Homo-oligomer: A and B are copies of this chain.
Amino acid sequence: MSDVLIIGTIALDTIETPFGKVGRALGGSATYAAFAASFFSRPAVVSIIGNDFPEEYIGLMKKRGISLDGVKAAGRTFHWDGFYEYDMNEAKTRKTELNSLEGFKAKVPQKYRNAGYVFLANIDPEQQIAALKQISKPELVVLDTMNFWINHKRKQLVAAIKNADVLLLNDGEARQLFSTISLVKAANSAISLGPKAVIIKKGEHGALLFTKNKHFNAPGYPLENIKDPTGCGDSFGGAFIGYLAKTKDLSEPNIRKAVIYGSVVASHNAEDFSLNRLKSLTISDIEKRYKEFQDIREF
């Protein structure tokens, strides 16, 4: 029985970084999120793939206990082709082929409609809203997004945010969406829309958690070798909600722990291309790095 429902994309990614490249590798916001959540809970995905989607990738997801009954197949799989230069914080797009994603209408299978923990991973905010309407009474709704939706569907995105309990976005997106240089002001604006918590992801600089009158500063992990940051934000979100679904404790101190677990899994994800690191990651790797996060913060 699944306990985290994830709405997002499943993609084939062609990625080049200063440290290598991969072609049509497994990717997508729901994929990274589900892998990351699977270390703590039993995720189910609502998404769409194409008829060209490799069986091998289906097998990889099933092996992680990810339920795929909400994944339809039609046409060709969404394909993103992008690259990173030395500033690994910024993905640059060469080509986006939406393919079957273009006509995607989120349909939540009956058996997932009483899901308690819902992650609206990065996808068109109209589909985030549509999916959420089909879920009866979730305990926690976490929403992630990206600059593309701020630019092209701002109104729909704001409507989606109003229905979320936790908003995830990166620092540039927070500044852009709330038209302020101050992340504190951006977080306050976000909270005034409805969410009880806002998490601002800052890549190598860690993450900030803002709740009403409380602030938490999660460190960035000092990675010596970053190969590919693709999917780090999605992995963060997946591990974050996976840990909360496992512990069923939505207190602020436990949300801080979930932020650290999110950071731990995201930092591992950057160590290799595609899902390569998350495929081999173990819970003991995660616990070991969680302790390191404690050590680097002690004073």
Contacts and interface: CB of A to CB of B under 8 A. Distances in A.
Contact of A297 (B183, B184, B297): B297
B86 A216 contact: no
A88 B257 CA distance: 31
Contacts of A185: 224
Contacts of A18: 181
A162 interface: no
Given A208-B222, A215-B222, A299 B184 contact: no
Contacts of A88: 181
Nearest to A223: B184
Given A205-B202, A208-B222, A222-B215, A86 B299 contact: no
A110 interface: no
Contacts of A48: none
Most chain B beta carbons < 10 A, residue from A208, A259, A260, A296: A296
A219 B260 CA distance: 14
Contact of A217 (B223, B224, B226, B296): B296
A116 interface: no
A121 to B, nearest CB: 24
A256 B181 contact: no
A182 interface: yes
A247 B111 CA distance: 63
Interface string A181-206: 11111000000000000000010111
Interface string A259-299: 11000000000000000000000000000000000101111
Contact of A256 (B208, B218, B220, B298): B298
A217 to B, nearest CB: 4
Contacts of A86: 181
Contacts of A222: 183-184, 208, 210, 215, 217
A222 B188 CA distance: 12
A227 to B, nearest CB: 12
Interface of A: 18, 86-88, 181-185, 202, 204-206, 208, 210, 215-220, 222-226, 253, 256-257, 259-260, 294, 296-299
The 3 closest A-B CB pairs, nearest first, are A217-B219, A205-B205, A256-B299
